[in-house]
Amino acid sequence: MSQLKNASLEDTELRRFLNSLTDWVWEMDVYGIHTYSNEAVESILGYKSAELIGRHVSMFWPKEDATPPKIEKFNTELKDGESWQHFRGRFRHKNGQMKILESSGEPLYDAEGSLIGFRGIDRDIAQTLKYEQALEDSREKFKVLSERLEWENNFKALLLDIISHDIMNPVSVICGVSDILKDDIPENEMIQSINMSSLRLIEVISNARALTQISMGEPIAIEALHLPHLIDSALREFDKIFTRKGINIQVSIPEDMLIQANPVIIEVFNNYFSNALKYAGNSDLLMISAEDVDGSILVEVKDEGETLPEDARLKIFERGIQLDQSSSGNGMGLAIVKRIAEAHGAQVGVRPRSKGGNSFYLKFPK
């Protein structure tokens, strides 16, 4: 007889509640014979609850487990009265398919304290197993990606060493030779250009390590830099192009102004000047200023071109966004500017000017 008949709740009320559950609730005696099952067993294992009563639990076992020795061993262990929690085992559905259920059981005792059976609950964990497998696959994928990232970072370090040494040597030779030729033939503009470009390339290579550190989120070396000298160095690369396009440069920076930065910060100004050449439209004046504002140093590159719309001003520092879709390029320039600024604890942005045009700014903590 089912032990549930001795429960404190009204029998019909308890059965109604148990049959509303999606988990399989069962009872068996000390010999492993089913004495009760709710109706959920049919949706889980294909048997009606009445088919279980009076039958041994081995009816659900895989055929290779339902042997007399194993059944005898199971019955002997039942008499120890030990409970079990979240045991995962294979159960045979009525149609012959195997299912994995998670089972928990507790011993039942009569009024004299004698073991009279067990009561428990089993649930179908097919969906749980899918989630666990998906999580395991995700972990494995993350492990592969992590290993790949480590390999790529090592490759970047190797590539950086090659750039810093193997490429630097021939560039230094070109720079040295062009420097000699520049003194011998000062009127030759091509030599002047080669010399300036080689100097700029040396500067780029020198900044490569800092750019790599920034891209990997590592800290960079900071030193006191003379801001007017930085701006002047950046402008020299664009001097001839500005002249050819008829763009006048107006610089207003205190002569003694210093910023705490890595030399790679010059790439911010190079990008701002490059964008001014491409996007400032018919502007014939580029104004560069710096001032102390509320304890911060604000550097601005201002043009008199067409004012950028608000949505463009909010997006252009994102990777893949270009101001002019008809221009070539991958839109990474201003995204790099933002990364460099963040590595310095600085802010970048663009805002409209009251008289038309745009102000690209870089705001440093003092």
Rounded average pLDDT over 201-229: 81
Please give the single-letter amino acid code of residue 68. P
Give the total residue count for the chain. 366
Per-residue confidence band for 202, with pLDDT thresholds at 50, 70 and 90: confident
Q: Which CATH class is domain 3-124?
A: alpha beta
Task: Report, in angstroms and rounded to the nearest whole number, the Rg of the chain calculated over CA atoms.
Answer: 39
Instruction: Give the DSSP H/E element, type plus range, for residue 349.
Output: strand 347-352
1: pLDDT strictly greater than 60: no
Q: Contact 330/320 with Cβ under 8 angstroms?
A: yes
Its pTM stands at 0.50
Cβ contacts of 183 within 8 Å, gap of 6 or more? none
Q: Is 359 exposed, middle or buried (0-12, 13-18, 19+ CB in 10 A)?
A: middle
**Pick from 24-28, 96-100, 184-188, 299-303: least confident:** 184-188
306-320 confidence digits (pLDDT tens) = 888 888 887 888 864
Residue-wise pLDDT tens digits, 243-265: 888 889 999 999 999 999 999 99
Which two structure tokens, joined as six digits, stand for 317?
Answer: 């520092």
Q: Where are the domains of the chain?
A: 3-124, 127-219, 220-366
Question: What is the CATH number assigned to the segment(s) 220-366?
Answer: 3.30.565.10
Query: 10-36 burial, b if ≥16 CB within 10 A, otherwise e?
Result: eeeeebeebeeeebbbbbbbbebbbbb
What share of the chain in percent tops pLDDT 70? 88
The kind and range of the H/E element at 153 are helix 126-161
Average pLDDT value over all residues in the chain: 85
